[in-house]
A = this chain, B = another copy of it.
Amino acid sequence: MKYVYFFGAGKAEGHGDQKDLLGGKGAGLHEMTRIGLPVPAGFTISTEACDQFFRQGKKYPRGLDREVSRHLARLEKATRKKLGEPKDPLLVSVRSGSARSMPGMMETILNLGLNDRSVEGLSERTHNDRFAWDAYRRFVQMYSSVVIGLPKEELEERLRDMKKRRGTALDTDVTADGWRELVAAYKKFFRERTGKDFPQDPVLQLWGAIGAVFGSWMAEKAVTYRRVEKITGLLGTAVNVVQMVFGNKGDSSGTGVCFTRDPSSGEKTFFGDFLINAQGEDVVAGIRTPMHLSDMRKRMPKLYAQLERVRGILERHYSDMQDIEFTVEEGKLYILQTRTGKRTPAATFRIAVDMVKEHLISKEEAIERIKGEDIERLFYPVLDPDLPRTDLAKNRLATGVNAVPGAAVGQAVFNAHEAENLAAAGNKVILVRRETSPEDVGGMAVAQGILTATGGKTSHAAVVARGWGKCCVVGCEALDVDYSQKLFRANGRVVHQGDWITLDGNEGAVYQGQLKLTTPQLPPDYETLLSWCDKIRKIGVRANADTPQDARKSREMGAEGIGLVRTEHMFFKDFDYPEKSIERQRAIQEMIIAEDPQRRKKALDRLLPFQRQDFIGIFRAMEGLPVVIRLIDPPLHEFVPHDRVKQEELARDLGVSADSIARRVAQLHEANPMLGHRGCRLCITYPEILEMQVRAIIEAAIACQREGLRVHPEIMHPLTLDKKEMRILEQATRRVADEIIRKEKMKIHYLVGTMIELPRAALLAGEIAEIAEFFSFGTNDLTQTTMGLSRDDAGRFLPDYVDEKKAGIFKHDPFQVLDIEGVGKLVEWGIQQGRKVRPKLEVGICGEHGGEPESVKFCHRVGMDYVSASPFMVPIARLAAAQAVIEEGKKPRKSKR
């Protein structure tokens, strides 16, 4: 087993495709070495080694030590330096790197190889005592916190103490002696806390660092991050041991991060930050505000030109926008890392479409690069453009760097942990920090937006927030954040914890109070890309919509019909005249309280015109497109009040006794309402409800057709489980519908079908398809019954089932991503059996999975006619449907089972 891969001097044992083995950073280093870019030499310990490390209870795999020493020797040979050599020591960085980027989640140690002796050698060799001791203090600091786990704050405190003692304000002003003093203080602290001296043997240091990097893979924050980001299937992190180059050797040195295109807008401009006389961490942490590349171009034209050339090579090589880390050591450029750059959703679309136009990638590749979340985030809110400028000016607190666009309103919170608690209690919060660190990720995840006082667009806060498409303003230097008092001051005003603020991530502005937000304009490239998707995809996309308003929205979003109208929503609310909602509620309640079919019928007659009017609105909005209407589904108790006061009100309105209502409500109580008297079972017991609903649908269709509109109603019965049941429902439906059609002398083409949402229905789909003209898989309920999981209750244990640190039984929450291996089996079987009997059976899905990309791809693979998703998920479904076709084209065709 080979665990270690060398790169250096233009040759590399690995290459760019080996991300799984070498991690993203490692694969990039090997690849860049291969294509001749200036990369410092080094070697990568593979993710397989990390995997073995955890499999064997945190023990290094056999032979790893020998392999590492062999490669260390090779590195020493290539650099002509030796680790720990007192005169001219080899110094290395030890960095993590997994196959998927996890910014800031794992550990890095720099300047490894320094000890009390070699620091002097470095000083002599570089003629820079200050540099050498600065490097040593950085190493001791990192090693102490990362490898040993000493608290960062206490180390920082010693730095502050030293500076205070010596009267220096800035790190750059600290002298060699100052750093020497700090190293002594660190070492003392180290001894106090660990009972041991700071390790002087560089090989020991190296193994400590390797172990720390491996260990960080399973640190809680990294595990959480992977869960949030749905990152699964990785072996572990690789470890890159690379010769150090120094950006902090004076004003001809520096370090920077750049993007080959603007990660915010997607514009094809060279974009980045450069910090003179600094090491990489200084940029990423955002502690000092760096210079933009445009300034670098003016101030260091030659270096800029070199960088610009690298930009071109890398973008062409990878055919994607790159995020590049580089260091300049005494005028010489080194590329330390390249990876696909994170970007805003708008930039995602622009870059993808531009690259197709530039013939860098194909349309298919462009489509593959878009993720569902990219689309989702396009619809994130912005400040209402109609807000008066004077209002804005009056409320403006400060302006920072517009790190991630969008807008957010929330209550200021100064601590990530508190942010999590407040958000869990239902509050909208904005996390305000001087700067963020990986410890803050939990609080960042739940916040509406993130605001930091320091840092640039490549700071931790900016990178993480951008990945999530979460509004973020950084480098807002006017902010004076006081953690202990939980407040910040800005331009003479004070914002306390709990005060409302508004962030504008487009402008980088911070406002006092709650400003009005609206939905943004979609970028033109979005439409272009989605139109490509529509040409490629084979599965239809419909929307779940219950009102004419939703129906119009769905059509706007590209829906080709409605896959689910939940008629009972109309019982609760009049969407045209909300003030009339009570009339509907009373009618349905009267229907439920009714003790005989006659009274029930009377109450239903009151509901009929409301339902008919709603259906007319929906049919109008969806003119020419199919509309699947589901008859009443929820258990009746959901429609009646459960508290005494409301029951008394209802009793007065209906002219019955409150006791009789309480009795009926008690009668309707169920131990497991999910498995109770609901769905088509209601229409089996109360055929009057079916009659009213079918009447409303058919009368509405006739009314629209008289207006000259084309209507395609599909009447859907929920929760069926048997052919005989389906036949009763179908016959009752046709009896009512055909009688009206005959009387009105109109031709209405309607379908009668069913949801397949119980395992038994899927198992007996062949028989049911003898009656049903269409199937719509209700995968919400099908998941609940197939897995025996109540969605309402699963909160108590499902998180453990998904958490890989706990049981880790499911890859995803099955209510988010369809459980393909379990529930999917039933879906596949149901379709096969149904189509055997009725080859033209129309098949769709209307559970919430219909808008989830992995699930949509599954629906494509099993040959559904359409997916139906909530209106805002429609474009995501369109994208996923196209991606499914592309993925399929790549796979070797499976033989038919």
**Beta-carbon contact of B796 and A725 below 8 Å:** no
Rounded to whole Å, the gap between the CB of A788 and the closest CB of chain B is: 4
Q: Which A residues lie at the B interface, using CB under 8 A?
A: 670-677, 679, 681, 684-685, 719, 721-722, 724-725, 728, 757-760, 763-764, 781, 784-790, 792-794, 796-797, 800-801, 807-810, 819, 821-823, 825-826
Tell me which residues across on chain B come within 8 A of A675, comparing CB atoms: 672, 674-675, 784-785, 788-790, 793
- Identify the closest chain B residue to A667 (Cβ): B796
Residue on B nearest A792 in the bound complex, by CB: B671
Q: Contact at B788–A758, with CB atoms within 8 Å?
A: yes
- Assess A822 versus B786: contact at CB under 8 Å? Given A677-B796, A807-B684: no
Residue on B with the closest CB to A787? B760
Cross-chain contact of A671 among B674, B722, B728 (Cβ < 8 A): B674
Min distance, Cβ A153 to any Cβ of chain B, angstroms? 29
Q: Which residues of B sit under 8 angstroms from A781, Cβ to Cβ?
A: 788
How long is the Cα–Cα vector from A787 to B674 in the complex, in angstroms?
11
> B672 near A790 (CB under 8 angstroms)?
yes
A801–B759 alpha-carbon span in the complex (Å): 18
Copies of this protein in the assembly total: 2
Known A-B contacts A685-B800, A760-B823; the reply to A719 vs B676 at CB < 8 A is: no
A810 / chain B contacts, CB cutoff of 8 Å: 722
The 10 closest A-B pairs by CB, nearest first: A675-B790, A672-B790, A671-B792, A760-B822, A759-B759, A676-B793, A758-B788, A670-B793, A672-B674, A759-B786
Shortest distance between the CB of A732 and any CB in chain B (Å): 11
The residue of chain B having its C-beta at the shortest distance from the C-beta of A723 within the complex is: B809
Q: Which of A670, A672, A819, A823 has the most CB of B within 10 A?
A: A672
Min CB–CB distance A250 → chain B (angstroms): 56
Rounded to whole Å, the gap between the CB of A799 and the closest CB of chain B is 10
Q: Shortest beta-carbon distance, A544 to chain B, in Å?
A: 21
Which residues of the other chain, B, contact A677 by a CB distance below 8 angstroms?
A: 793, 796-797
Whether A826 contacts B790 by the Cβ 8 Å rule is no
CB of B676 within 8 A of CB of A809, answer: no
Bound Cα distance A801, B758 (Å): 16
In the complex, what distance in Å separates the CA atom of A764 from the CA atom of B825?
Answer: 9
In whole angstroms, how far apart are the Cα atoms of A671 and B674 in the complex? 8
Q: Pick from A759, A781, A785 the residue with the most CB of B within 10 Å.
A: A759
**Assembled-state Cα–Cα distance A473/B895 (Å):** 72
Q: Which residue of B lies closest to A758 (CB)?
A: B788
Do the beta carbons of B790 and A724 come within 8 Å of each other? Answer: no
CA distance A725 to B800 in the complex (A): 11
Q: A675-B789, A728-B807, A763-B786 provided; 6 other pairs, C-beta below 8 A?
A: A670-B793, A672-B790, A675-B793, A681-B797, A759-B785, A785-B786
- Report 15 cross-chain contacts, Cβ distance below 8 Å, ordered by A residue: A670-B790, A670-B792, A672-B674, A675-B784, A676-B793, A676-B794, A677-B797, A679-B788, A721-B822, A722-B822, A759-B787, A759-B826, A760-B823, A763-B786, A785-B786
Residue of B nearest to A726 (CB): B809
- Residues from chain B with Cβ under 8 Å of A759 in the complex: 759, 785-788, 822, 826
Which residue in chain B gives the minimum CB-CB distance to A668? B796
The CA of A235 and the CA of B719, in the complex, are separated in Å by: 31
**A790 in contact with B676 (CB, 8 Å):** yes
Question: Shortest CB–CB separation between residue A777 and chain B, in angstroms?
Answer: 14
Q: Complex formed: what's the CA distance from A794 to B681 in Å?
A: 10
Query: Does A797 lie within 8 Å of B684, measured CB to CB?
Result: yes
* A789 contact set on B, CB distance < 8 A: 675
* B822 and A763 within 8 A (CB): yes
| Minimum CB distance partner of A757 in chain B | B788
B793 x A672 contact (CB < 8 A) = yes
Which residues of chain B come closer than 8 Å to A809, judged between CB atoms?
Answer: 684, 722, 724-725, 728
